[in-house]
Structure 1
């Protein structure tokens, strides 16, 4: 358990594991410009009963940051599946935040045998639900300005970029999260963003999920400043989906209200997690 590097197609991937090694598996996938650290506040509660596997997507956190291809959402999903294979995980409940929700969906499309259920946390269901046009938009969608800001990327610039990720008054993003964003390359940031836009533009997420036949929990912060919280209702079109909209919480419930977020995850996992790691 602990931290390790797993070499798969496309580059090495940083993995963090917590909890009993033979317990049922929860896989946690971060969003754009995130890392395993985004889940730190909820892991202690989850790891009491589950083997918690956190993965840094390619281009993020401690994983490789290649200058070329490999950032498409299907590629990222396939890579997570390879990592789980190497770790001996046969069945898992996958929890994903924001852009990570597209990766988790792609993984389920590719490996329906692996994923027992899905939890999506503030993952936008369709392109026109996106509302952020502040510092994040400048970084991603105004190439010249974005590159200039990225070359500077002081703590102040990065914290302004992260400001739409958290709405809780007085919350200060941990320095480790800021450092992980700084450690990205501009290519890995923009390539991941473009890949997510392409994947979502091909087909709205609820349509994809409706075809997969997997239990689904959607958690959305009512004060989300990146995606319209009203769009969470789109997921009710997925048969059997449960949608929880949290008041006074923004785009990152696991940071802003970790206790309630962990409680929702544990309640859902109790009915939908896979068998213990050693079970077939």
Structure 2
């Protein structure tokens, strides 16, 4: 594996942070847990990074090799070399990264728009993705709740903390304070990266609703949805029930981002799906 930056650890249970040099640009990757355990890929949503999974990962590593990428233009990954943010292109990049990591099979879990990346990856490489988990991923465009907060202004970039919190507020339940580290990371991204990624996911969903895509894939599917979601109508999660064998569960009291708001409950639902057992609750982390 070609890496740059932090030297990978050698212990099979260690945390390994590296940068993969791929055809369309570098991709930051973090791996946690035993390397011989079943692989679990966690894909973050738009305008955030792999750090959004920090509270969840310690609960998953007793059962899984957990793999996280900063998607192109997010976190520590640069924008794609050719500027192509299309979801099928992203799926090709993810497949190449997993091949570089020598991952033969993976359960792919996406939060929010990360669920579209997970689905596109399964469409591109059905033999690689054995099962799919979606966390607060909208099934179709008419389930989207138009935000009342002001959009970010490209003419006044980078935005202030207050502007970012207003923009990101609906991504959490009412009253939840957006973590400062996520505010700082969003400020470090370009307006183009955030906007292009969102437009790409919208185009992907416009082409075909997710339940239809998932039905054709025929993969085991588990959907988790916070019942206080302010970005997608929580009732729309029921649309996934048309997928044969799909399970759908709502998290009472959780908003759009239960991976941060309710990490223990979210991990328990994921592990029940993957057949793993939960690890100890983290002693510290983002709350």
Partner of 2:146: 132
Q: Paired residue for 1:257?
A: 262
Cα separation, partners in 2 of 1:67 and 1:84, compared to 1, 3 Å? closer
Deviations 1:92-112 (A, max 9, x none): 101101111111110000000
Distance in 2, matches of 1:96 and 1:26, equals 11
The answer to whether the 8 A contact 2:259-2:266 is kept is yes
TM-score normalised by structure 2 residue count: 0.88
CA distance in 2, matches of 1:58, 1:195: 12
| Alignment match, 2:77 | 63
- RMSD of the alignment, in Å? 1.4
The match for 2:253 is 248
Residue 74 of structure 1 is matched in structure 2 by 88
Deviations 1:154-205 (A, max 9, x none): 1111111110111053x33222211111111111111111111110000000
Please name the residue that 2:214 is paired with.
Answer: 209
* Pick aligned residue for 2:58 from 35, 44, 47: 44
Q: Which residue of 2 aligns with 1:274?
A: none
User: Aligned to 2:178, what secondary structure does the other structure show?
Assistant: coil
Secondary structure of the structure 2 residue equivalent to 1:211 = helix
CA shift, 1:49, in A, is: 1.9
Q: What is the alpha-carbon distance in structure 1 between the residues aligned to residue 92 and residue 158 of structure 2? A: 33
More helix, by proportion: 1
Show the counterpart of 1:153. Answer: 159
Query: 1:7: which partner in 2?
Result: 21
Distance in 2 (CA, whole Å) between partners of 1:135 and 1:72 is: 26
**CA contact under 8 A between 2:24 and 2:82: conserved in structure 1?**
no
Distance 1:78 1:107 in 2: 7
> Number of aligned pairs?
262
TM score, norm. by length of structure 1: 0.90
Q: CA deviation at 1:135?
A: 3.3
CA contact (8 A) 2:25 2:81 kept: no
Contact 1:168 1:248 in 2 (8 A): no
Shift of 1:66: 4.2
Deviation, 1:2, is 2.0
Q: Secondary structure at the match of 1:13?
A: strand
SS in 1 for 2:217: coil
- The answer for the alignment partner of 1:87 in structure 2 is 101
Q: Secondary structure at the match of 1:54?
A: strand
Deviation string for 1:61-102 (max 9, x for gaps)?
100124752200111111111111111100010110111111
Long gaps (5+) in structure 1: 140-145, 272-280
Paired position in structure 2 for 1:121: 135
Kept in 1: contact 2:224–2:248 (CA 8 A)? yes
Specify whether residues 255 and 168 from structure 1 end up closer, same or farther in structure 2 by C-alpha distance, changes over 3 A only: farther
| Gaps in structure 2 of 5+ consecutive residues | 1-14, 277-287
Query: Is the CA contact 1:167–1:251 (under 8 Å) kept in the aligned structure 2?
Result: yes
